[in-house]
């Protein structure tokens, strides 16, 4: 009898001959995740506008929850009392929880940073909250996520070298504290590489984290306003110093063209609010660029949101109908666009996995590059 695969094991199933792209399987307590993978964001124990069955039907295999937000509402103890985050939200697949470290960056006007952690004023009612590595890991343990992220400090862009050096020292200290804290049974823990745009700092941070017994590693502090070239440089400065045997994750990235380039650099996992956020503003992500469905030219258009798409929205409704729902303020319009957008990104990742397995990733990457050069760079060029 074959022994069950160890939780936390990462199997590389295929490699591209020309780049660092690889396909793999990450084994978690709630099942294996095929990589490269895009993770829809469920900040408050829900991916906005979608049910768990929508996620499964549209190819999502792992989703992300937010430690800071769930700590404030409904509270980690409440989630634990309800059987943990999986049971609470009705999702039986893997869940990754961020550490709350991003809020150190995003709530800069509402927080005070100390060597031990960060004091926040709650965005809900203003009450004082403290979050450090011990507190973050305690919340993630109560949530019972499959993958917990180490608490870190996400740097803004731009950031000078002296400030970045202090921050990396803090992130590395917090990484040790995060590993030392108790974890839920079967819970994996990922470290996060920081260092801003400073390559030597990125290398030092990555090498130090790689010496610690993390189950995976993330490249953090990207997609925070820096130029695209600086983002790729940060990935290039980090990945070569991380173990090939562990999954690698770029945090906060959901642009198809950028995910393709990061996969070529050896990245396996991504998350972003893009598919749900732009749907709420009436925008569809398509292989030919973003489409503003509210535009007047779609008023009587009988075609689907994206030709050839097999999602529920495109299989059953016209652009004209979805546009009508959006202009009428009907919730269904946002829901249908969210279904389409999540389907589009998950389908894109499936195509990428297949290309790696078939040794055609170079052609896949080239097709993405040609699309960008044509002036419709996949999901980055609005169609108004």
For residues 298 and 243, membership in a common domain is answered with no
For residues 255 and 310, membership in a common domain is answered with no
| Residue 372 binned pLDDT confidence (cut-offs 50, 70, 90) | confident
Domain hosting residue 285, numbered range: 279-383
Token representation of residue 9: 């094991």
In a domain, 345, yes or no: yes
In a domain, 312, yes or no: yes
C-alpha pair distances (Å), 347 with each of 22, 150, 211, 315, 353:
17, 29, 35, 15, 10
Indicate the residue among 238, 253, 272 that finishes a domain.
Answer: 272
Return the residue matching tokens 């103890």: 77
In a domain, 297, yes or no: yes
Question: Which residue from 156, 168, 143, 130 is spatially nearest to 75, judged by alpha carbons?
Answer: 143
C-alpha pair distances (Å), 367 with each of 45, 268, 370:
36, 20, 5
For residues 365 and 309, membership in a common domain is answered with yes
In a domain, 1, yes or no: no
Confidence (pLDDT) at 1: 57
In a domain, 3, yes or no: no
Query: Does the predicted model carry a pTM greater than 0.85?
Result: yes
Number of H-type helices and E-type strands within the chain: 15, 17
In a domain, 247, yes or no: yes
Specify the number of domains making up the chain.
2
Q: Which residue out of 54, 98, 215, 379 is catalytically annotated?
A: 98
- Tell me if residue 223 falls in helix, strand or coil: coil
For residues 286 and 242, membership in a common domain is answered with no
For residues 179 and 309, membership in a common domain is answered with no
| Residue 3 binned pLDDT confidence (cut-offs 50, 70, 90) | low
For 114-139, how does the pLDDT look when each residue is reduced to its tens digit (9 = 90+)?
A: 999 999 888 899 899 999 999 999 99
215 is known as an active-site residue: no
For residues 137 and 46, membership in a common domain is answered with yes
Please report, for the domain that includes residue 16, its CATH number: 3.20.20.105
271 is known as an active-site residue: yes
For residues 123 and 179, membership in a common domain is answered with yes
In a domain, 351, yes or no: yes
Token representation of residue 216: 């995976």
| Residue 383 binned pLDDT confidence (cut-offs 50, 70, 90) | very low
In a domain, 2, yes or no: no
For residues 182 and 265, membership in a common domain is answered with yes
For 266-281, how does the pLDDT look when each residue is reduced to its tens digit (9 = 90+)?
A: 999 999 999 999 999 9
Q: Which residue out of 146, 152, 271, 379 is catalytically annotated?
A: 271
């Amino acid at each position: 009898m074959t022994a069950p695969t160890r939780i936390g094991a990462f199997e590389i199933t295929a490699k591209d001959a020309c780049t660092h792209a690889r396909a793999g399987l990450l084994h978690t307590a709630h099942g294996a995740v095929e990589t490269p993978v895009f993770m829809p964001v469920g900040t408050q124990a829900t991916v906005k506008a979608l049910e768990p069955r929508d996620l499964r039907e549209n190819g999502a295999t792992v989703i992300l929850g937010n430690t800071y937000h769930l700590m404030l509402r409904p509270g980690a103890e409440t989630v634990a009392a309800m059987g943990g985050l999986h049971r609470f939200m009705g999702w039986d697949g893997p869940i990754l929880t961020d550490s709350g470290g991003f809020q150190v960056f995003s709530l800069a006007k509402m927080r005070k940073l100390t060597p031990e952690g960060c004091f926040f004023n709650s965005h809900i009612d203003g009450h004082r909250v403290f979050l450090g590595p011990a507190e973050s890991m305690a919340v993630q343990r109560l949530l019972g996520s499959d993958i917990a992220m180490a608490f870190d400090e996400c740097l803004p862009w731009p950031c000078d070298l002296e400030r970045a050096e202090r921050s990396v020292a803090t992130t590395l200290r917090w990484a040790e504290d995060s590993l030392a804290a108790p974890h839920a049974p079967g819970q994996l823990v990922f470290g996060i590489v920081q260092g801003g745009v400073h390559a030597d700092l990125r290398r030092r941070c990555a090498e130090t984290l790689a010496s610690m017994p993390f189950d995976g590693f993330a490249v953090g502090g990207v997609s925070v306003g820096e130029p695209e070239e600086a983002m790729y440089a940060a990935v290039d400065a980090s990945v070569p110093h991380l173990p090939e045997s562990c999954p690698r994750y770029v945090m906060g990235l959901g642009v198809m063209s950028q995910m393709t380039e990061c996969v070529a650099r050896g990245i396996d996992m991504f998350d972003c609010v893009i598919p749900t956020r732009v749907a709420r503003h009436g925008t569809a992500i398509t292989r030919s660029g973003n489409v503003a469905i509210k535009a007047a030219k779609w008023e009587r258009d009988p075609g689907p949101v994206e030709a050839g798409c097999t999602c529920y929205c495109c299989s059953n409704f016209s652009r004209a109908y979805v546009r009508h729902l959006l202009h009428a303020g009907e919730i269904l319009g946002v829901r249908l666009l969210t279904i389409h957008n999540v389907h589009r990104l998950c389908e894109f990742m499936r195509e990428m996995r297949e290309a790696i397995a078939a040794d055609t990733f170079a052609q896949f990457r080239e097709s993405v590059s040609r699309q960008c050069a044509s002036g419709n760079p996949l999901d980055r060029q609005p169609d108004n």
